[in-house]
Structure 1
Amino acid sequence: MLPERQERALHTRRALLHSAARLFDRHGYARAKLNDISAGAGVSPGALHFHFANKAAVAAAVETAGADILWSAGRIACRANKDALQALTDMSQAFVRLLRWDVVARAGFRLGTDTDTPRARTQALDQEWHTCVERLLAWAARNNELSRDVDLVPVTCAVLTATTGIGLQITGSAEQRAQNALTAFWQVFLPGLATPEVAARLEPAGRTTVVADAVAVSRYACAQAPAAEPAP
């Protein structure tokens, strides 16, 4: 158990990250203000500067937190599946839910694609997701799960476009629409991607328990997810 002082400091840092994520998600990096971040966390500007040197450091921490969520979810999906393509399907379903429900994951992704304000990036979440998809497809190739002559470069692009587009563009409370759209993508895509034997046992909607466990790594998702701030 952490000493009380450390526990308070950890709580403050988490509150600052969540506040910053909400503002980066809503306004973008350039328009988000440090004073608004500290106010949203219910702490003083001095408390913010105790944890972060500047706004770039706050943004880097949000991206890192989002990437940690992604990789934790990915490990769960990989360990639960012997088929790499099912792991990819499950992970994509979890990723779309995380983009919809978790403001830290969503803000981390958007910060990585924000080119309006050049800044140093240590762990851009869009690149982390790209790497995750590439690794799972390479695993599928090693497992001989893919149809002959599949070109992994356009396949990777298609998966990235579908998952991030569905996760970010279907707004409001349309969670079921997002899930249905991604499931429809996999229903069309998997039969041409996988060998017939592998395709016959894949679940385009994702394995329910695996997806739920993967999403559960998020501090702001899970049972409280519908109450989280929706994507604008």
Structure 2
Amino acid sequence: MVQQERAARTRRALIQAAAEVFAEVGFVHASLGAISQRAGVSNGALYFHFANKSMLAQAVEAEAAESVRRLTEGARARQGDSLQAVVDATHELMGTLARDVVVRGGFKLAGDIARPAKSPLRKEWQRWVEDSLRLAERSGALADGVSWADAARVIVAATTGLEVLGAKDASWLSRQNVTRFWELLLPRLTGRRALNTLVCSGSRPPADLPARAQPQLTAPER
């Protein structure tokens, strides 16, 4: 049991270290020596768990994908098929990118065009957003003339841009920045009645800030 726990800790340290190195220099320039040194383990210990760099990258991506899956499923469980689930998931994804290096490393790998294997991580996020917007359209939550496909493209493009920019400047991932995005988009995306029920800053305020009344948005005349 002790040996298994030690092996699990070593594997976890290697995934964490690999994510940090991938996030900093990308897949091609990351070396196994740098990763093992960052993890504080020998090269032999690294090769015991991962035969090569590609296997390490896959482990980082798998853990990042599970984190994204948990946050999207959580948003859907709390908010159902409403647009609030998409707003909340966007805030949580950006917050997770800011504080979780494994998720950050996973998305860095997903966008690394020099990497031989293509990551499904961004595609999984895109599929979830598309599915959510289809449900929103079906329930009548989208404004007249707005298609789920167009709305999904805008949201996926914007969140991908925030993720890429946030890798260099974390302010792009801030709650305030994501809130401004939704304040601009939601009045075009949904009708007046639905708009008054949506919280652009997310339905779960940060633990370190007091909850406060959110400003009401007004849908534009159509």
TM over 0.5: yes
Whether 2:22 is the aligned partner of 1:24: answer yes
Q: CA deviation at 1:161?
A: 2.2
1:100 matched to which residue of 2?
98
Other-structure match for 2:121: 125
Distance 2:51 2:103 in 1: 22
Match of 1:10 among 8, 11, 15: 8
Which amino acid is the alignment partner of residue 161 of structure 2? G
CA drift of 1:78 comes to: 0.9
SS in 2 for 1:60: helix
Question: What's the CA shift for 1:196?
Answer: 1.9
Deviation of the 1:168 alpha carbon: 3.6
Quote the offset at 1:115 in angstroms: 0.8
Alpha-carbon separation, structure 2, partners of 1:82 and 1:113: 30
Q: Structure 2 residue aligned with 1:160, among 136, 156, 160?
A: 156
Q: Would you say how many aligned residue pairs link Structure 1 and Structure 2?
A: 206
Q: 1:195 Cα shift? A: 2.3
Q: Residue 171 of structure 2 contacts residue 177 of structure 2 at CA under 8 Å; is this kept in 1?
A: no
Aligned to 2:37, which of 39, 49, 71? 39
Deviation digits for residues 11-33 of structure 1, max 9, x if unmatched? Answer: 11110000000000000000000
Larger radius of gyration: 2
Distance 1:192 1:129 in 2: 22
Structure with more contact order per residue of length (Cα contacts < 8 Å, sep ≥ 6) = 1
Aligned to 1:60: 58
Following superposition, the deviation at residue 172 of structure 1 comes to: 4.7
Change (3 A) 1:173 1:159: closer
Q: Is the 8 A contact 2:97 2:163 kept in 1?
A: yes
Give the aligned partner of residue 225 of structure 1. Answer: none
- How far off is 1:131 after superposition? 1.4
Residues 99-120 of structure 1 deviation map (CA, whole Å, 9 limit, x = unaligned): 111111111011111111322x
CA deviation after TM superposition for structure 1 residue 147, in Å: 1.4
* Cα shift at 1:65: 0.6
Alignment of 1:1-232 (within 5 A): 3-119=1-117, 121=118, 123-170=119-166, 171-172=168-169, 174=171, 178-208=174-204
Distance in 1 (CA, whole Å) between partners of 2:164 and 2:97 is 7
1:83, distance to aligned residue in structure 2 (A): 4.7
2-structure distance, mates of 1:147, 1:172: 34
Q: How far does the alpha carbon of each residue in 1:166-214 deviate from its partner, in whole angstroms, 9 at most, with x for none?
A: 2442445637x722221111111112111222111000110125x77xx
Q: Secondary structure at the match of 2:28?
A: coil
2:28 and 2:115 in contact (8 A); partners too: yes
Report the 3-state secondary structure (helix = DSSP H, G, I; strand = E; otherwise coil) of the residue aligned with 2:79. Answer: coil
Change in 2 beyond 3 A, CA 1:40/1:203:
same
Q: TM-score, normalising length from structure 2?
A: 0.86
Rounded to whole Å, the distance in 1 between the matches of 2:170 and 2:60 is: 24
Cα RMSD of the aligned pairs, angstroms, is: 1.9
What is the CA–CA distance in structure 2 between the aligned matches of 1:143 and 1:7, rounded to whole Å? 48
- Contact 2:81–2:132 (CA<8 Å) still a contact in 1? no
